[in-house]
Structures are given as structure tokens and as C-alpha cells.
Amino acid sequence: MHFKQFIVIICLLTTTAVFAGSLTSDDDIYKIVNKLTLEQKARLLVGTVGVNDELSHIVAGAAGWTYPINSLGIPSINLADGPVGLRIDPVSTEIAKTEYDTNGLPIAGTSKTAKQEKLNYCTCFPSTTALAATWNKSLAHLQGEVMGTEAKDYGIDIILTPGINIIRNPLCGRNFEYYSEDPYLTGKMASELIKGIQQQGIGTSLKHFVANNQQTGKKYNDARISQRALREIYLKGFEICVKESHPWTVMGSYNKIAGEFTQTNKQLLIELLRNEWGFDGMVLTDWTVRRPISGLINARCALNMPGEKDIVDGIIKAVKNKEVTEKALNDCVHDVLKVVLNSVTAHGWKYSTPDLKANAIASQDVAEESMVLLKNNEKLLPINTNSKIALYGTSAYQSIAGGTGSSNVNKAYIVDISTGLENDGYKIDGKLKDIYKDYNGIQNKLLDTNADIPDWQKISYHRHVIPEIDLSKADYTIQQSATNNDLAVIVIGRGSGETSDRQLEDDLNLSRAEKTMIEKVSQTFHDQNKKVIVILNICGVIETASWRDKADAILIAWLPGQECGHAVSAVLSGKTNPSGRLPITFPIHYIDIPSSKNYPYLGQTSGRNFDYTEYQEDIWVGYRFFSTSKVPVSYPFGFGLSYTTFDYSNAKIKKIQGGYEISVDVTNNGSRSGKEVIQVYVSAPNNAMIHPEVELKAFGKTNLLKPNETQTVKLRFTNYDIASFDEVNSQWLLDKGIYNIIIGRSSDEAITKLSFKITKPQVWKVKNLLAPVKLVNKLTF
Ligand code: BGC
């Protein structure tokens, strides 16, 4: 415990005159716990909804509050989403304000409401998948710092982020909130985000623990996963974050694991999370769905969110009926108090205005660095800023900054791609612009279910993704646009959200109108010897194999946050050299993905894949499957081009204490400055267990290297990092044999290879936990 927190607790106790004595550690929190009545303990375990003048302060639009016990000086704290920026409402609002004493502690009974006149807009960062595509840990840290600062300024104590579920199947509606199909990339990037936030004194919530990999049926689905796949793929990112960045809280997912709801699952929350990994924070429920209260408390899932009064009664009853032990109850109360007493609220928070301009620059930095150049024939890109552009696609004029649901951020504005290009000097074809603006305007009116909502909602949660215009009869217009402009830029837009999964047709696969647009525009421009660039303003995987030959250049912009258009323009113009790499595989066909055999269909309401899902693909998720099976892909994991080229030399491996260090010299041997991502894959020997052809075990990014500049990059992994989970013997096993190290341009392309030999196996024994209820026909090689 920090000294300041220690003082706060002492003051808390002395000022309320309820408790006295010196406080030192967790034990001291237990001393407070022991003095609370059963009613007070129960109250602390249940959040509170809505405006309540007992609350220390209220931030409109926060996802929830903990309950205060003002008589004891225990304030309520605010919890708000989410992954890509704070989700609060930018409204003038009545806020309850408590007076603070000279120690910064709330004075009981001083709570009163005051009008907050400021509009609390927040900075919208690119989607989480985009952040992962930067492969830049410092940027994840920076994003965390900005989010943490905004939280502190606005009075949010816990940000409900990061979401680190594995992108198992491209149809999951929440994939855009998640990092990658790879647990190592996920864990390392999310750890940095957590550190950046928590360094500001703001807590985080690692979610959704665990296996929230589908939206359809998520509330009751039993995710049947082998112990090996669970440990190596689905839990690994959580393990990395818990051990490396110590998130204050972990949010239990809705689904079941090993036949038991995650939130009441003692094996998951006590044996694994606390006893094995050493987590010492608070576990809270995901919102709204209720699980049996005694099960929650006994599994030390402490905070029920958003909370209802009858849950408090349920806790009191469960204690009286001895369905929960006094110890289990006290542990939960301790966990809540620990977070509350560490919060900025408990430290005398005061409103201040964040530097939204500076924060927007940080968001744009992440966006630019996340963009992945998939194709660039004849070095078409970058293009001169005085080019005349025929700009096609509804999302070019109403661009998609982010996904919907709890990841929505109420930002002050979105820079559309058309605006970003124009701001940099590009000349956008006026006729096309008029057509698209009119069309989007009409569509917005048609799609508006609530026309009276305020403007800030229209550009955030209620912003529509406009279906594409049917250009099948627009030959003359396309022809004219080809004659009048230097080139065509086509934008394909795809959003997604928390409320549902995506679908195969008109979503993962392009709609007929989109195919027609690509077909006709590229044909007409190519006939006139003019080039076509496709920009993908997308939430995640879409089908690319059938149309990619028609484009001369393809750039993935993802959902790039509020500075969307500026970031796209910076990359198109070459102001920024693209350095993003795919954190997910783009397959040729959806059915090539092994999990496609075990994924619900949109609208499904019961049965297999809804009530339970068998993860038959086992550990063969994403590139682990494609690299081993040799099934071809459209674009592999880790792939991404640059406007310059890099040479790798002097690659070495050296044994260090408990692991290995790889070092390699990376030289920019092209003609533009740029950053390179260094990807280190391990290929483990197939002795006792079969391993994927390659597995990412280290990565890094160079600084911005000038032409001819060289940087020596050093990357490390531990023996434990490269061990596999032997479920028969419940142990992590580093088997003996030759380990090949591949420094790759992607999971598919080796640049240089190294190797080392393990002569004596090493094991890490663990408890036999979380075996699936039933799992048949596991995919094997
Ligand atoms: C989501 C969480 C979110 C919570 C609070 C739930 O519906 O699953 O990710 O943090 O709502 O908004």
C-alpha cells in the first residue's frame, strides 16, 4: 500500500471516529471490515444505480457506482467504460458534491448537488484491434495514460478496460474491442494499456474473464474448451496481464467455463486467478445478468453490478442461512474497500478539464500507426496531396470511428475520410461528393428511430453505418469521374457492436452493391490507365480474396477513432509511413477457419453453439491453424507493407537467466523513414506434444528509422513463455529438443532462423483445473 493511501485510511478512520488505531496493510482493511455491520457489508458488495445524493459525486453516463457509507467516510466510486476511451455523457448535469476536509476526505453529511456546466467529451481512440495492429507497446502505454488522465479529470475511478478475449472467430460482434487471435500479442499490449492507466491512480478492469468469444447465447453459453487450449490460448493473455500489470479489478464474463458460470467458478476465480497467479484485487460481475449470490461470494466475486437493493437482502439472507461463510463475505468486502480506498475519489478528487486537443493527437498517432498496408502495386502510395480524387463509398463521407455498445465513446467530433483528405489539400470530385452527401442524409433520416436525440448521440452511439449505393446503373457518372480525376479511392465500411454477432453475407462477405462498386470503378479507371485504392474502414476481418486483384493498393484503416480522416490522409500522403501489422489472419473463405464449424448463427436462440460451444479447433486458432495445416490465407497474421524496406542482419540468440535473448540489427535500406515490427516466432519440437508450426513469443518495434539507419533490437522470452500445457499431467512442459526461432515478416514469411536446444525437460506443476464438461472430436494434426 502506498503511503498516501495509508494516510487516507488512517484519516478515514479517525475523522469518522468510528475506528481508531494504526493501519498498515491489507490486514488493516480487514480491521475495518470486522467493525462493519452485516447490513453495511452487504451494502458494499452491491453497486447502486442512478443519481443518488448520497454519492460522493456522479458522472453522468458512467456505467455504475459503488455504494457509499457516508457515516464512515467510505465514498462511492465511479466505474465507466471502456476499451477505446471513457464512456460518459457530455451533458450539463446535476452532480452530487461532497465537501472534503483538509486531508482530502469526504465529510459525512455534506453531500449536495451542484450544476456541472461543462460538456465532458472524451477522446475516442481507434478500436482495440487497431491498437494491437500497431504492435507498439509504448503507444498502448500512451493511450492508457491519456485515458487515465481523462478519467482522473472527470472523476472516474475505474475504467472498465481492457477487453482481452481472443478473436476466435471473425463473426464475434465484439472482436473490435479485443486485440488479437494471439494471446501473447494480446497480453503484452493490454498490459501496457493497464500500466498507463493505473499510473494515473485510476483502476482498470480486465475483462471478460474468460472465453466471452461470441455474442449469441453469451449469457448462458458453456464454453467447452480443452485444458490445453484454455491455458495456452484463452487464459494466457489474462495471465500475462495479471502477473505483469496487476489490474485493480477483473470482470467475470457471462458465460460458463467447465460447466460453471465464470462468476461463481471457484476453480477459475480462487484456485487459478488468486492462488496460482497471485491476483490480489477485486472481481466484479459483468453488468445486469444475475448469478446466485452465495455462489458469487464463495467464489470471491465481490461487487455486483450495476446492483439492486434486493441483492443486498439476498446477501444478508445467505449469510444468515450460512450459505456463505463469514470469511468469504469479509474477503469480498475487503476487496471492495481496497479499491474504494485507493480511488481518486477517496483522495479528494476535483474536476478539471482535460487537454482534449493534445489527447486527440495521441488518438491520431495510434490510428496512423495502426494502419496496415495490404497491397501497393508499383509503389502507387503515397500519393501527392494535390491529386484529384474520385472518392467512392458511403463511409468515405460518414466514416466509422468506432463500434457500438459499451465501447462507444462520446466524442466531440469525427473527422470523416473526405474531410481529412480535403484538409490536406486533396481535391475531392464535387459531383460524387454531392451524391454521397445527399444519399447519406436520406439514409440517416430513414434509419433514425429517434430523430430528437441530441447531436452528441448522433455522432456516437446512434451513428449509422450507411449501406452502399447501388452503382449498377451509374456507368456515365463513373466514366465522368474517371475522366475528371487522377485516381479513385474506394472506402468500404463495416461496423459492429456489442448487441449481436456479425453475419456472413453482406457483412463478412461484401454486399452486392460493394462488389459492383469495386468492379465497375476499377474497370473504368483501369481502362483509362488510372489507379484504384481501396481503404477498409472496418471492425475486423472481411472477405478480401475475391476482389483484391481489382485494386492497385489496399489500406486497412480499421475503426480509427475520432481523427479518422486525418489519420487516413497522413498515411495516403506519406506524411506517415504505414507500420501496422495484422493482429488477425484474413482467411480466403470463412469456412477455412476451424471455429466456423462451431459458431452460432445470427438469430439462433438455443441448442448447440448457443447453450454450449465445443471449441473443437482446440489450440488451432488463427495462424496456429493456418501455418500448420498449410491452408492458404488471403493475408497472414503479422502481415503489413511499408513505403520503405528493411534489412535484417547479425541475428543472434543468447541464453539468459531463465530464458533467451534474441538480438538483430534492423536497417532501413529504402528511401523513406519508417518503423519496422520485429516478430519472433518459436517452433517447438513435436515430441510428447504436437505444436503449431510457429507461435509468436516476442515482438518489438523500431524507432522511426531514417534511410540507412540501423537499430539493434533485443527481445526476450522466458522458458515458461515457450512451455506448452500438458493437460494429461497438469503441468506446463518445456520439452527437450531443438527449438527453432523464426524472425518473420509475418507468421508465413521467415526472414532469418536461429535455434537452441533444450537437453533436459522443465515442468511447472499446477492444479488440475477447469476440465470441460464434454468435448468431442477435437481437431488434431
Ligand atoms: C459489457 C461490459 C461493460 C458493461 C458496463 C456490459 O454489457 O459486457 O463490457 O463494461 O456492460 O457497461
pLDDT, one tens digit per residue, over 49-95 is: 655 667 777 788 899 999 999 888 899 999 999 999 999 998 865 55
Residue 81 near ligand 1, beta carbon < 6 Å: yes
Q: What is the per-residue pLDDT for 750?
A: 98
Residue 286 near ligand 1, beta carbon < 6 Å: yes
Distance from Cα 395 to the centre of ligand 1, integer Å: 27
Which of 498, 499, 500, 501 gets mutated to test ligand 1 (max ligand atoms within 8 A of its CB)? 498
Nearest CA among 335, 345, 341 for reference residue 151? 345
Q: What is the per-residue pLDDT for 350?
A: 83
Residue 87 near ligand 1, beta carbon < 6 Å: no
Is pLDDT of 506 > 80? Answer: yes
Average pLDDT, stretch 747-757?
98
Which of 81, 128, 250, 255 gets mutated to test ligand 1 (max ligand atoms within 8 A of its CB)? 81
Which of 287, 304, 305 gets mutated to test ligand 1 (max ligand atoms within 8 A of its CB)? 287
Average pLDDT, stretch 253-265?
98
Q: Using an 8 Å Cβ cutoff, are 101 and 107 in contact?
A: yes
The H or E element spanning position 54 is none
pLDDT band at 100 (very low <50, low <70, confident <90, very high): low
pLDDT band at 508 (very low <50, low <70, confident <90, very high): very high
pLDDT, one tens digit per residue, over 22-34 is: 344 788 899 999 9
End-to-end CA distance of the chain: 49
pLDDT, one tens digit per residue, over 519-537 is: 999 999 999 999 999 999 9
* pLDDT > 70 in the chain, percent: 93
Q: What is the per-residue pLDDT for 8?
A: 43
Residue 406 near ligand 1, beta carbon < 6 Å: yes
Q: Using an 8 Å Cβ cutoff, are 287 and 306 in contact?
A: yes
Residue 177 near ligand 1, beta carbon < 6 Å: no
* pLDDT > 90 in the chain, percent: 86
Looking at the DSSP bridge assignments, the partners of residue 96 are: 113
C-alpha cell at 15: 475523522
Nearest CA among 147, 158, 166, 255 for reference residue 205? 158
Is pLDDT of 445 > 70? Answer: yes
The predicted model scores a pTM of: 0.95
Average pLDDT, stretch 480-509?
97
pLDDT band at 18 (very low <50, low <70, confident <90, very high): very low
**Phi and psi dihedrals of 463, rounded to 5?**
-85, 135
The H or E element spanning position 315 is helix 309-320
How many residues are given for the chain?
A: 781
* Nearest CA, atom 3, ligand 1: 406
The H or E element spanning position 586 is strand 586-587
Distance from Cα 645 to the centre of ligand 1, integer Å: 42
DSSP string, 598-611: G-PPTT--SSBTTT
Residue 160 near ligand 1, beta carbon < 6 Å: yes
Residue 365 near ligand 1, beta carbon < 6 Å: no
Q: Using an 8 Å Cβ cutoff, are 135 and 581 in contact?
A: yes
Q: What is the per-residue pLDDT for 108?
A: 61
* Nearest CA, atom 4, ligand 1: 287
Residue 621 near ligand 1, beta carbon < 6 Å: no
C-alpha cell at 412: 466531440
Q: What is the per-residue pLDDT for 292?
A: 96
CA distance 269 to 261: 11
Q: What is the per-residue pLDDT for 4?
A: 40
Distance from Cα 285 to the centre of ligand 1, integer Å: 9
Long-range contacts of 30-34 (CB under 8 A, 24+ apart): 30/330, 30/334, 32/337, 33/330, 33/333, 33/334, 33/337, 34/330
Residue 82 near ligand 1, beta carbon < 6 Å: yes
Q: What is the per-residue pLDDT for 52?
A: 63
Q: CB neighbours of 624 closer than 8 A, spacing ≥ 6?
A: 692, 693, 694, 695
Kindly list the catalytic residues. Answer: 286
Q: Using an 8 Å Cβ cutoff, are 510 and 542 in contact?
A: yes
Average pLDDT, stretch 730-754?
98
Local structure of residue 68 (DSSP, 8 states): P
Nearest CA among 535, 554, 607, 578 for reference residue 670? 578
Q: What is the per-residue pLDDT for 117?
A: 61
Q: What is the per-residue pLDDT for 2?
A: 38
Is pLDDT of 101 > 80? Answer: no
Give the sheet arrangement for strand 724-726, strand by strand. 724-726, 731-734, 762-765
Classified as helix, coil or strand, 566 is helix
CA distance 372 to 135: 11
Q: What is the per-residue pLDDT for 51?
A: 56
Average pLDDT, stretch 167-193?
98
**Phi and psi dihedrals of 46, rounded to 5?**
-125, 125
Distance from Cα 288 to the centre of ligand 1, integer Å: 9
Is pLDDT of 7 > 90? Answer: no
Average pLDDT, stretch 221-230?
98
Nearest CA among 36, 280, 58, 295 for reference residue 157? 58
Q: What is the per-residue pLDDT for 49?
A: 62
Average pLDDT, stretch 696-723?
98
Mean pLDDT across the chain = 93
CA distance 288 to 254: 10
Give the sheet arrangement for strand 677-683, strand by strand. 695-701, 677-683, 737-746, 749-758
Q: What is the per-residue pLDDT for 347?
A: 87
Distance from Cα 256 to the centre of ligand 1, integer Å: 17
Give the position, in ligand 1's atom list, of the atom nearest the Cα of 306. 5
The position carrying cell 475487503 is 334
